[in-house]
Amino acid sequence: MKRIVGNNKSGLPNDSRTNLPEQVVAQIQAGNHKLRNIFIAENQQFVAAFAGQFYKRHINPAIDDEFTIALSAFDEAINLYNSQMNWSFLDFAKSVMQKRMTEYKSTGADFFVESFSQGKSYDKQSGIEERQSEIADLREVLHDFGIEFEDLVAESPEDEELCFELLTAAKELGANAELMRQLLKTRKLPIKELAVRSGISRKILGQHKNYVTIIAILGHGPFPNLRTYLELVSTRERRGKL
């Protein structure tokens, strides 16, 4: 573990510092949530280095969107890893990160993030720990809905115009107290009501329900760093720039 976490300044508990990553992951999967946050924090350099190899450029964890995608995938790998695999955990984590970063590029999610982050001008003083904490909190909220954070990428529309329309619908949902109460109570997207308000068909909303739900929760909940990171704008404002 030393090659990952460095010197004795590691935040890992004393009895865990010499454990293999696979052993640490096993403890996390057994319910040690505090160790999970520490383990992820201690592997940020590993994540940033692999993201840099993938994108063939230096990745700055404090400001680059690509790092957030890779870090989220590393977190996902902790959930998915099985000790019966013929993989080390770090090799498995690399495979998950590569898959998610590939999806991020191919689905147009990179365009989505860049378009709605005001030219990446979100507060650079909001550091990694704050965003990491918000991702962890968001995961817990989404878990109650049966949704994964990665659905934001998986359900991101390839069509730019549809993407803008869904974002606007999600923003409207997040700002509507009555619809949000319905969403939080039933754990289901109020598709019928949102279709009337947004003009988007029920079929389309159903196909992207997790995507819309995540954006709405981001807009409504205590996620200032992630909300700034996505920075929603209206369809009309975007169309004016085309």
Query: Domain 2-106's class?
Result: mainly alpha
Q: Check residue 231 and give its pLDDT.
A: 54
pTM: 0.49
- Domain locations along the chain: 2-106, 128-239
When pLDDT is averaged across residues 7-24 and rounded to a whole number, the result is 59
pLDDT digits (tens, 9 = 90+) for 16-65: 445 789 999 999 999 888 898 899 989 999 999 999 999 888 988 877 77
User: Within 13 Å of residue 187, how many CA atoms lie on the same side as its CB?
Assistant: 7
What pLDDT is stored for residue 105 in this prediction? 65
| pLDDT of the residue at 220 | 79
SS3 152: helix
Contacts of 138 (CB under 8 A, 6+ apart): 149, 214, 217, 218, 221, 223, 226
The pLDDT of residue 52: 92
Highest mean pLDDT among 33-37, 103-107, 170-174, 195-199: 195-199
Model confidence pLDDT, tens digit, residues 75-114:
989 989 998 888 899 999 999 999 888 876 654 444 444 4
Q: Where are the alpha helices (DSSP H) in the chain?
A: 2-5, 21-29, 33-42, 44-55, 65-80, 89-106, 109-115, 128-143, 151-154, 160-175, 177-186, 191-198, 202-207, 209-220, 224-230, 235-239
